[in-house]
Amino acid sequence: MFINTTAIFSNSAEQEFLIMTSTAYSNHPNCIADKWRDGKTATNTPIREGVVAINVDRVDGEWQVRSPLRLGQVIYIEGIGEFAVEDTGSFTEDNLHFDYWNVDIFFEDYEEAKEWGVRKVKVYIINEVS
C-alpha cells in the first residue's frame, strides 16, 4: 500500500496546522523491541496515553529530529485531543514514507493501537519549545 505523505501546512487566519500521517503503538512486544520496553519515553517520562512519538534519523552516528514537531511540544490532534511529544521512534528505508510527517500515538491497549492503523490527522501545535 502506498500512502501519500506530502504534508500540508496551513497558515490560515484561524490557526496554523499540519496534515500528518498518524500511526499507533503500545508497549507490546509486537510494537517495541524488548530493549526499549522499560516503560519510559525518549524524554525519560513514563509511557502513557496522551504521549506521541516522532521519528528520528541516525546520521553520522548522531540522532537527528527531522519532524516538524519537536520533543517537549504539546499538540492537539483534531478529533482526539491533546498530546505531549515525548517519545521517538526510528525508521528504516522500508518505511521511509513515515519519516518526517508522521506522528505515532501511544495506546495502552495493543488491539486499539492495531485498530488505529494509518490515518491522516490535522495537528495543531499548542506550544513551541526553544
What's the CA angle centered on 73, arms 70 and 74, to 5 degrees?
140
Number of structural domains in the chain: 1
Give the model's pLDDT for residue 96.
56
The predicted-structure confidence for 7-66, as pLDDT tens digits, reads as follows: 445 555 567 899 999 999 998 877 776 667 788 998 999 999 999 999 887 778 887 787
Range of the domain at 111: 17-127
pTM: 0.81
Amino acid found at 76: Y
Q: Is residue 4 in some structural domain?
A: no
Q: Is residue 9 in some structural domain?
A: no
Q: Residue 59: give its domain's CATH number.
A: 2.40.40.10
Give the model's pLDDT for residue 20.
94
Give the model's pLDDT for residue 94.
58
Q: Is residue 69 in some structural domain?
A: yes
Q: Is residue 1 in some structural domain?
A: no
Give the model's pLDDT for residue 110.
94
Which residues, 6 or more positions from 120, have their beta carbon under 8 angstroms from its beta carbon? 19, 20, 21, 22
